[in-house]
């Protein structure tokens, strides 16, 4: 089994930079991983893996990253595997599509073990979010490609897990991140009856790089529409991860929406509280739950998405009326909901400060 010790104090150097391989290198999430690696004081890009763009310059696909990677090119999987032997310990960040990530991750872990080197993996795809391969198959409609590796991964928001007992981690999906931030504290503190109703709006980058009807600009601009209402694949993920974090099952009724903006998610989470709750009580409970969470801002007023876009921060707030409580939660789908959360996990698995390389604020007036 490759990877860091569960307590983050494994055989890793206290100084120097960690070589990082990025899988799925030409997608939006991978682009954000590359941006964050470039600004991280302890991580260094060892290779961006892309089958479709191998040999092409990173800056040609991501012109905004040209100052960070003026000459580096995408590499093939075979070339990345060869590079595993260049360092005793490396990191793999996977932004490959679900259904493709598991097989490649397993192949790279096998190669690392054969080479006698340590490879720590953080997967931003859906392939290691379910501990049970049957649960994965039920949601995604095909067998899991590497069920023997599932036990090596823990999936959770970093804020919801104090210690990690596995060598690798998987980050929840972007919608799931926005919902879990509001749902888990309410369930963990026993403030609600366990039945949740969620309406959430996401930006077009959440649909990936390939153009389609839901992302094509003339259809998305100045428009708003729901899709996959009450049957979105993140619903079973949120139910499973909430129960894992709190020990309590929940009901979830989720209606996602496509918004006329590029990035960000804004979720409104409704539930019945168990009695005697005020708005001030709800906000205080959230603030106490996230007291030590560097990236979660608990506000008295509803959060605004522009204040956190392009950052690893999340902003949440709450309101109570009668027996109803609503939590508003907003994250950047590409950062806190994917690439930034993955870097946060990387920091933890390497025994680095969890906030390292992730504290830059957003640009105002985007």
| Whether pLDDT at 9 is above 60 | no
pTM comes to 0.94
**Token digits for 144?**
């899991």
Contact 179, 200 (CB under 8 A): yes
Q: Is 129 exposed, middle or buried (0-12, 13-18, 19+ CB in 10 A)?
A: buried
Domain assignment present for residue 248? The answer is: yes
Question: Rounded CA gap, 24 and 161, in Å?
Answer: 27
- Number of Cβ atoms within 10 Å of the Cβ of 185: 27
pLDDT band at residue 209 using 50, 70 and 90 as cut-offs: confident
Residue 21 has pLDDT above 50, yes or no: yes
For residue 355, tell me if it sits in a domain.
no
**For 122-131, how does the pLDDT look when each residue is reduced to its tens digit (9 = 90+)?**
999 999 999 9
82: pLDDT strictly greater than 60:
yes
Question: Within this chain, do residues 160 and 226 fall inside the same structural domain, yes or no?
Answer: no
List the beta strands (DSSP E) in the chain: 18-23, 43-49, 89-94, 118-123, 153-155, 168-170, 192-202, 225-226, 251-258, 265-273, 296-298, 314-321, 324-331
Stated length of the chain: 366
Q: How many domains, in total, are found in the chain?
A: 2
> Is 6's pLDDT higher than 90?
no
**Can you give the pLDDT at residue 85?**
84
User: Mind listing the pLDDT tens digit for each residue in 237-271?
Assistant: 999 999 999 999 999 999 999 999 999 999 999 99
Contacts of 246 (CB under 8 A, 6+ apart): 184, 187, 188
More confidently predicted of 206 and 328: 328
Q: Which of 36, 156, 157, 174 is catalytic?
A: 174
Give the CATH number of the domain where residue 23 resides. 3.40.50.720
Residues 200 and 286 in one domain: yes
| Residues 262 and 230 placed together within one structural domain of the fold | yes
Lowest-pLDDT choice from 84-88, 331-335, 353-357: 84-88
Same domain, 71 and 157: yes
Q: Which pLDDT score is estimated for 210? A: 76
Confidence (pLDDT) at 218: 83
Q: 189 and 311: one domain?
A: yes
Q: Which residues pair with 122 in a beta bridge?
A: 93, 169
The answer to whether the Cα torsion of 95, 289, 193, 267 is positive or negative is negative
Mean pLDDT of the region 212-223 = 81
Provide mean pLDDT across the span 310-336. Answer: 98
Q: Which of 2-6, 13-17, 145-149 has the highest mean predicted lDDT (pLDDT)?
A: 145-149
Active-site residue, 174 included: yes
159 and 220 within one domain: no
Residues facing 21 on adjacent strands: 47, 92
CATH number at residue 227: 3.30.360.10
Residue with token string 């960690």: 18
pLDDT of residue 3: 35
Residue in 20, 78, 65, 87 with CA at minimum distance from that of residue 346: 20
Locate 353 and state its tokens. 């400060």
Mark whether 196 and 317 lie in a shared domain: yes
| % of the chain surpassing 90 pLDDT | 88
pLDDT above 70 coverage of the chain, percent: 96
Between helix 174-188 and helix 234-246 the angle, nearest 10°, is 30
In tens, the pLDDT along 226-238 reads 999 999 999 999 9
Q: In what order do the strands lie in the sheet with 18-23?
A: 43-49, 18-23, 89-94, 118-123, 168-170, 153-155
In a domain, 356, yes or no: no
Task: Answer yes or no: do 106 and 160 share one domain.
Answer: yes
Looking at the fold, whether 164 and 57 belong to one and the same domain comes out as yes
Instruction: List, in order, residues 6 or more apart from 302 with CB less than 8 Å away.
Output: 317, 319, 328
Question: Domain for residue 215, yes or no?
Answer: yes
Co-location of 195 and 257 in the same domain: yes
State residue 199's pLDDT score: 98
Of the pLDDT bands very low, low, confident and very high (cuts 50, 70, 90), residue 220 is confident
Residue 13 pLDDT greater than 70, yes or no = no
User: What's the confidence (pLDDT) of residue 118?
Assistant: 97
pLDDT at residue 86, as a whole number? 87
pLDDT at residue 255, as a whole number: 98
pLDDT of residue 10 exceeding 70? no
Residue 165 and residue 28 share a domain? yes
How does residue 14 score in pLDDT terms, banded at 50, 70 and 90? low
Do 256 and 134 fall within a single domain?
no
Domain presence at residue 38:
yes
> Is 363 part of a structural domain of the chain?
no
pLDDT score, position 15: 66
Using a 10 angstrom Cβ sphere, with 0-12 exposed, 13-18 middle and 19 or more buried, the burial of residue 255 is: middle
- How far apart are the C-alpha atoms of 58 and 73, rounded to whole Å? 5
Check residue 48 and give its pLDDT. Answer: 97
Residue range of the domain that includes 49: 18-172+336-349
């Amino acid at each position: 089994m490759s990877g860091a010790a569960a307590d983050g104090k494994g055989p890793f150097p206290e100084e120097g930079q960690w070589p990082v391989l990025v899988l799925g290198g030409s997608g939006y999430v991978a682009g954000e991983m590359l941006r964050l690696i470039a600004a991280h004081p302890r991580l260094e890009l060892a290779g961006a893996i892309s089958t479709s763009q191998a040999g092409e310059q990173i800056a040609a696909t991501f012109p905004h990253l040209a100052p960070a990677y003026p000459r580096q090119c995408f590499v093939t999987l075979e070339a990345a595997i060869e590079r595993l032997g260049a360092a005793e310990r490396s990191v793999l960040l996977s932004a490959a599509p679900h259904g493709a990530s598991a097989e490649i991750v397993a192949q790279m872990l096998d190669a690392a073990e054969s080479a006698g080197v340590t490879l720590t993996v953080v997967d931003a795809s859906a392939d290691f979010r379910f501990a049970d391969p049957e649960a994965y198959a039920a949601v995604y409609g095909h067998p899991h490609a590497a069920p023997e590796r599932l036990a090596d991964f823990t999936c959770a928001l970093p804020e919801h897990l104090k210690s990690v007992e596995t060598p690798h981690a998987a980050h929840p999906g972007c919608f799931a991140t926005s919902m879990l931030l509001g749902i888990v504290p309410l369930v963990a503190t026993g403030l609600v009856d366990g039945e949740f109703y969620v309406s959430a709006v996401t930006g077009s980058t959440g649909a990936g790089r390939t153009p389609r009807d839901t992302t094509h600009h003339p259809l998305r601009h100045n428009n708003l529409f729901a899709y996959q209402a009450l049957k979105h694949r993140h619903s079973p993920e949120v139910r499973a991860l909430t129960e894992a974090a709190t020990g309590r099952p929940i009901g979830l009724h989720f209606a996602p929406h496509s918004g006329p903006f590029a990035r960000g998610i804004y979720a409104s989470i409704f539930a019945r509280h168990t009695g005697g709750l005020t708005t001030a009580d709800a906000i205080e409970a959230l603030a106490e739950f996230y007291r030590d969470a560097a990236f979660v801002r608990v506000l008295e007023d509803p959060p605004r998405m522009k204040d956190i876009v392009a950052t690893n921060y999340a902003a949440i707030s709450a309101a109570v009326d009668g027996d109803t409580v609503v939590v508003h939660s907003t994250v950047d789908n590409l950062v806190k909901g994917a690439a930034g959360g993955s870097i946060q996990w990387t920091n933890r698995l390497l025994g680095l400060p969890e906030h390292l390389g992730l504290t830059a604020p957003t640009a105002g007036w985007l």
